[in-house]
Structure 1
Amino acid sequence: MPADTQELDFTRAMARVPGPVVVTTTVDETGRRWGFTASSFVSLSLIPPLVTVSLDKNASTHAAFAIADHFMVNVLAHDQSDIARRFARSGVDRFASGDAVPLERGLPGIPGAVVRLVCRMHDVVDGGDHSMLIGRVLDCVTPVDREALVYVDRGFVRPAGSAPGVARAH
């Protein structure tokens, strides 16, 4: 199978796999804020508490995150797709709207996020055309009780079972 066909097939297949939508943020040594949208976010370990989020090596934010001491993962709520889109765009001031403000440990956070995880950089691991940022979770904040935003089939959706009257597993 030609490489282009294989890459296209892989891209189509992975688009079918739902993922949480997160905005990951940091502040560099000059005080500049950085952030990006990702749907490749997972927990990695309980002891110690580790998470990983993947970042394209060609992204404008890559250099800042590759050397960051700390970062925050904001798991977006179902009604925050506008924030996800803005932090995914290039060439815009992602922080201009004011919905990401200094929160835990002074990192830019999104107050309406379903979960905020403050992480110390544990490692940056090569992952092909992406880097996997592995963070040691220092603080877990769950400020709101709402459904998370999910990305699947190249679109944003509410999680299955989040409709009124549908039982959730506890």
Structure 2
Amino acid sequence: MAIDQIAFRHAMTQFGSGVTIPVTVDGAGQPRGFTANSFCSVAMDPPLVLVCLAHGAESYPAFRDAQRYAIHVLSADQGPVALRFAEKRADKFEDEQWSTGEDGLPELRGALARVSCEAHAVYDGGDHAILVGRVVEAKVDETDGQPLLYFRRKFLDAAA
């Protein structure tokens, strides 16, 4: 029995989630990243997280081949950067919000958290890849910020 894809997509918009930006550096040394709301912890021992990325995404080859990547958990005021990373554009990292972290990967100032990962596994998930990373470092911003939330195809203010 085939499922109605429109109904399925609409049903998935009813699940609220946080918003992340995974980043890596490709083989040519260029930073790559995308916006994702399909992110979660998988295990504590060893510490594993997963994030999903469309096979057709511009940054897919870089993440498929990456040995390391980092995932930023966005704060409520980072909607504009989330929208920028959801688009296909060359200037995603060209502003003062980005620096290079101690791990050599792009680091976003003001994110609520950042987990640095070593690639653990890549699984087929239909039209997406399921990237599983082993967390080697976790940082939390201690400013008591609120998360950027995504629900019914728009960002919500967690404080409201």
Sort the TM-score into its range (normalised by shorter chain): over 0.9
For residue 9 of structure 2, what is the amino acid of its counterpart?
Answer: T
Secondary structure of the residue aligned to 1:60 is coil
**Superposed, which structure 2 residues align to 1:132-151 within 5 Å?**
132-144=130-142, 145-151=144-150
Q: How many positions carry a matched residue from both structures?
A: 159
**Stretches of 4+ moved more than 6 A in 1?**
none
Aligned-pair CA distance for 1:2: 5.9
Q: Which runs of 5+ in 1 are unaligned?
A: 164-170
Task: Decide whether the 8 Å contact of 1:111 with 1:143 is kept in 2.
Answer: no
Q: Which structure has the larger Rg?
A: 1
Find the aligned partners of 1:98 and 1:29 in 2 and give their Cα distance: 24
Which whole-Å CA distance do the structure 2 matches of 1:12 and 1:118 have between them? 32
TM-score, normalised by the number of residues in structure 1: 0.89
**Identity rate, percent:** 38
Distance across 2 between alignment mates of 1:100 and 1:87? 13
Indicate the larger mover: 65-74 or 29-38.
29-38
Q: C-alpha displacement at 1:67, in angstroms?
A: 0.5
Could you say what secondary structure the match of 2:96 adopts?
coil
Q: Does 1:11 align with 2:12?
A: no
How many Å separate the matches in 2 of 1:86 and 1:156?
14
- The RMSD of aligned alpha carbons is 1.4
| TM-score using structure 2 length | 0.94
For residue 51 of structure 1, what is the aligned residue in structure 2? Answer: 49
Q: One-letter code of the match for 2:131?
A: L
Which residue pairs with 1:166 in the alignment? none
